[in-house]
Copies of this chain bind each other. A is one copy, B any other.
């Protein structure tokens, strides 16, 4: 009997694939919130069972100092190349939850999309790997040794993943790390992410008087931490929207004119971009295009900020403290440790005498550049071309997956970023969704990748 094609297999198992994915999505594995820790363990068990079910010879849950990591493998032949899939089972918080059109942890299908937290990032995208693997195993075609490592702390900085890599170097040996945690340009415009930004994530507390004060009795005579913090944040950008932290740009690699010209060829519709976000205008560093601002330039954003009375109505209080969460996206060759240090030093230098300021690094990670001349890139290029009928474009993403550069550093293995998300998926936002078309197309593309990668690696070895 002929094996079914991957397209046929997807068609036959469509509902089961979604059911299994939905089971994973229903576990509210929010890593940023400590009370969800039991859910992290449930998610790990779910993944272990899913990978065993898909055909892994072995799947185990490894405890860490934080959330557990699932490792699974199926080793077919020592002479075959080895693919190590990296993914994460944790998701972002869901607040403001009242903005969601349906329960973030009860996936529903509307308009050809799955709506839920994690639908794309990264449950939807990672589960495609389990199903491509299942197809290859069940049809007896698995052309690579397959390994999986699924962690539970990607959204909080992969704090224990580095140590796991160091502790299990031999077990994790592979020719390539395969990751689906990025996006492509559009459903009909596949792309492969070849650059990621680094990240430095800071929390700042500005402390004024030791208690909230009556703003009438003390206002104007005692510095207001909220006003002071606003002034500090405002001062972090100059009039050209360049970051003012001394030394911040020192290590930024400037692209050549040729490289910038090449980049400018990527399709980009400014009008559609503004309309899709409902903004009157874009904003950013003077002298750079929107694509450059997110792709090759470092940035600084307030991710959260709070102080004083935030309830209904009017309370005339001079707040005792003000807080901000601030993250900086970094480009090659900025070092996140150095940037966090520069930030802290700068704040301490400009802190006025009438407040006390505490700066604390919440997490960080280096940026990453993926070479387009490696075999894995060529195999991915062919796989997208087979599945989508269009050659993918290499793009640099504004996002960060801090652990990717650590893999190269600790394991000596490059990563290939085969993302299937779309910008409209609203990852990290309310009403996250993932296109069913992309989910199934992703399974197909990944299957082709294994096949091309195995073929090309074998040819490379022979030649």
Also in contact, A319 and B294, with CB within 8 A (given A309-B325, A429-B214): no
Contact present for B220 and A279 (CB under 8 Å): no
Contact present for A221 and B309 (CB under 8 Å): no
Q: Chain copies in the assembly?
A: 2
Contact present for A233 and B227 (CB under 8 Å): yes
Contact present for A312 and B33 (CB under 8 Å): yes
Binds B, one of A143-151, A299-307, A372-380: A299-307
Contact present for A309 and B354 (CB under 8 Å): no
Task: Confirm or deny: A355 has a beta carbon within 8 angstroms of a beta carbon on chain B.
Answer: yes
Residues in A191-237 with C-beta less than 8 Å from chain B? 197, 199, 201, 203, 208-224, 226-227, 229-231, 233-235, 237
Chain B residues with CB under 8 A of A362: 313-314
Task: Confirm or deny: A173 has a beta carbon within 8 angstroms of a beta carbon on chain B.
Answer: no
Residue of B216, B221, B423 touching A199 (CB-CB under 8 A):
B216
Chain B residues with CB under 8 A of A301: 215, 219-220, 224, 226-227, 318
Contact present for A33 and B313 (CB under 8 Å): yes
What per-residue 1/0 map shows which CB atoms of A12-52 lie under 8 Å from chain B?
Answer: 00000000000000000001111000000000000000000
Contact present for B428 and A212 (CB under 8 Å): yes
Residues in A87-145 with C-beta less than 8 Å from chain B? 92-93, 95, 99
Binds B, one of A164-172, A248-256, A392-400, A453-461: A392-400
Also in contact, A314 and B284, with CB within 8 A (given A227-B233, A429-B213): no
A196 CB to closest chain B CB (Å) equals 8
Q: How far is the CA of A423 from the CA of B216 in the complex (A)?
A: 11
Task: Confirm or deny: A290 has a beta carbon within 8 angstroms of a beta carbon on chain B.
Answer: yes
Task: Confirm or deny: A259 has a beta carbon within 8 angstroms of a beta carbon on chain B.
Answer: no
Chain B residues with CB under 8 A of A313: 31-33, 93, 156, 362
What per-residue 1/0 map shows which CB atoms of A421-463 lie under 8 Å from chain B?
Answer: 0010011111100000000000000000000000000000000
Give the number of chain A interface residues (Cβ < 8 Å). Answer: 101
Residue of B217, B277, B305, B354 touching A423 (CB-CB under 8 A):
B217
Also in contact, A354 and B310, with CB within 8 A (given A215-B329, A220-B285, A423-B217): no
Chain B residues with CB under 8 A of A318: 301, 303
The chain B residue sitting closest to A307, CB to CB, is: B305
What per-residue 1/0 map shows which CB atoms of A382-414 lie under 8 Å from chain B?
Answer: 000000000000000111100000000000000
Contact present for A211 and B426 (CB under 8 Å): yes
Q: How far is the CA of A285 from the CA of B222 in the complex (A)?
A: 11
Task: Confirm or deny: A240 has a beta carbon within 8 angstroms of a beta carbon on chain B.
Answer: no
Contact present for A219 and B156 (CB under 8 Å): no
A120 CB to closest chain B CB (Å) equals 11
Q: How far is the CA of A327 from the CA of B230 in the complex (A)?
A: 15
Task: Confirm or deny: A267 has a beta carbon within 8 angstroms of a beta carbon on chain B.
Answer: no
Contact present for A219 and B280 (CB under 8 Å): no
Contact present for B302 and A230 (CB under 8 Å): yes
Can you give 16 contacting A-B residue pairs, CB < 8 Å?
A32-B312, A32-B313, A33-B312, A155-B315, A203-B314, A209-B279, A210-B278, A215-B303, A215-B327, A219-B398, A220-B299, A220-B329, A221-B294, A226-B303, A282-B354, A314-B362
